[in-house]
Structure 1
Amino acid sequence: MSAVQNSVNFTMGVLEERMMLSGLHTVADIFCCCCGQIIGWKYESAHEKSQKYKEGKFVLERGRIVDEIDFSTEFYIDTRASMSDGED
């Protein structure tokens, strides 16, 4: 089962062709389930061979997911899998 199927905090939009800085890609925007705002995108497929490593990867835009970042302090996101409150 993929991470997307297990996630409950975002939804994916429709696939579309988008010209990115690194070339043409098929991507889907991802949206916050709480507020509905775009928080980033998922690379579904890359049209250039050198960009294939991006397929299936997600990009989260920090400015869209964290309010009032104080860049003078260290910022850390724990990316390890953990139990949710419902699994306690």
Structure 2
Amino acid sequence: MPPLALDAITQHIGNTPLVRLNKLPSSLGVEAAVYAKLEYFNAGGSVKDRIALRMVEEAERSGRIKPGDTLIEPTSGNTLVFHTPPNSSSAIWRMF
């Protein structure tokens, strides 16, 4: 089966898989079901992808930003850089 083609990178955020870590509990001598959430499967490779997408979408919904506005990314660059929502502004990302 060919890979799923997405219309926008933001469609590859969320719904990251859980993996059961079968050997970890027994190696520590505990009886438990331990799972790891694989957030690196997000588009930008981070749990911050969910946060950034939500911030931009909510700001658009509430009218705080509109198409064409400049969004300033004051971090190292991996929080908002991937997340101009589909069907929205062509934002300019400025990183410091």
TM-score band (shorter)? under 0.3
If the length of structure 2 is used for normalisation, what is the TM-score? 0.22
If the length of structure 1 is used for normalisation, what is the TM-score? 0.23
State the structure with more CA Rg: 2
Higher strand residue share = 1
Higher helix residue share = 2
Higher relative contact order (Cα pairs below 8 Å, separated by 6+ residues): 2
